[in-house]
């Protein structure tokens, strides 16, 4: 599935609005900082798929190390590679207009109970309600994973992303995105709160800004 999706998204490169584009991504570490071990979790939480290097390492360009002196971040360690970045607004618009152009129709309908769905004449229903499926259909298998994006005004000349001190920076066309990502994929795992955390947002921005102090 991962290979097929990778191949499919290559066909969206270079389209108007750039729904998908490649960016350079740099992992910046402080000199002597220890790196987290994602496989060391032994507390019974489910393992996330770990495909990047083991099974799919041949897809993306191999990471390259940039020694101090060859980058603007002083004595820090820098490793860079290229990733696909999704510009969600352009991508979502493209999906909707492709759907409509192919004869799809969007109807807003109110249902009051799952039983109401039986009245639909369509034979197939796709339940794409995300975390809402838990309340709507009692699907306890859906686990909330809280995350938060801090966004700033777009800067069209910035084409690279950064990961530094567990903060990710992505140069999306519709706004620069800063996100605390924690040491591993379990950051926010099981947390269903949706209240914005201003302090976390500021920490994310100032962490990236500190690289340019």
Binding residues for ligand FAD (CB under 6 A): 128-132, 136, 147-149, 179
Taking the complex as a whole, the smallest distance from the CB of residue 75 to ligand FAD amounts, in Å, to 30
Handedness of CA 189, 191, 195, 199 (dihedral sign): negative
In the complex with ligand FAD, the residue whose CB is nearer, 30 or 174, is 174
In the complex with ligand FAD, the residue whose CB is nearer, 34 or 124, is 124
Encoded tokens for 190: 């099981």
Taking the complex as a whole, the smallest distance from the CB of residue 111 to ligand FAD amounts, in Å, to 8
**Residue (of 178, 162, 168, 143) closest to 48 by Cα position:** 143
Q: Which residue is nearest to ligand FAD (CB)?
A: 132
Taking the complex as a whole, the smallest distance from the CB of residue 129 to ligand FAD amounts, in Å, to 4
**Residue (of 110, 94, 6, 108) closest to 58 by Cα position:** 6
In the complex with ligand FAD, the residue whose CB is nearer, 193 or 210, is 193
């Amino acid at each position: 599935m991962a290979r097929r999706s990778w191949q499919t998204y290559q066909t969206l490169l270079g389209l108007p609005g750039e729904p998908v584009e490649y960016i350079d991504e740099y992992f910046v570490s402080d000199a002597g900082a220890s790196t987290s071990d994602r496989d060391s979790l032994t507390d019974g939480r489910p393992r996330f798929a770990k495909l990047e290097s083991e099974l799919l390492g041949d897809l993306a360009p191999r990471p390259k190390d940039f020694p101090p002196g060859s980058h603007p971040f002083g004595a820090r360690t820098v490793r860079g590679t290229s990733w696909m970045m999704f510009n969600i607004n352009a991508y979502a618009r493209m999906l909707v207009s492709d759907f409509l152009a192919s004869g799809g129709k969007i109807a807003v309908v109110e249902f009051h109970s799952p039983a109401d769905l039986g009245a639909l004449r369509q034979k197939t229903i796709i339940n794409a309600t995300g975390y809402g499926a838990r309340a709507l259909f009692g699907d306890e298998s859906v686990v909330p994973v809280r995350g938060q994006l801090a966004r700033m005004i777009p800067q069209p000349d910035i084409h690279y992303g950064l990961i530094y001190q567990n903060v990710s920076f992505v140069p999306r066309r519709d706004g620069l995105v800063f996100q605390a990502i924690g040491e591993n994929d379990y950051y926010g795992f099981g947390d269903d709160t949706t209240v914005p955390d201003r302090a976390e947002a500021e920490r994310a921005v100032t962490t990236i800004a500190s690289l340019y102090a």
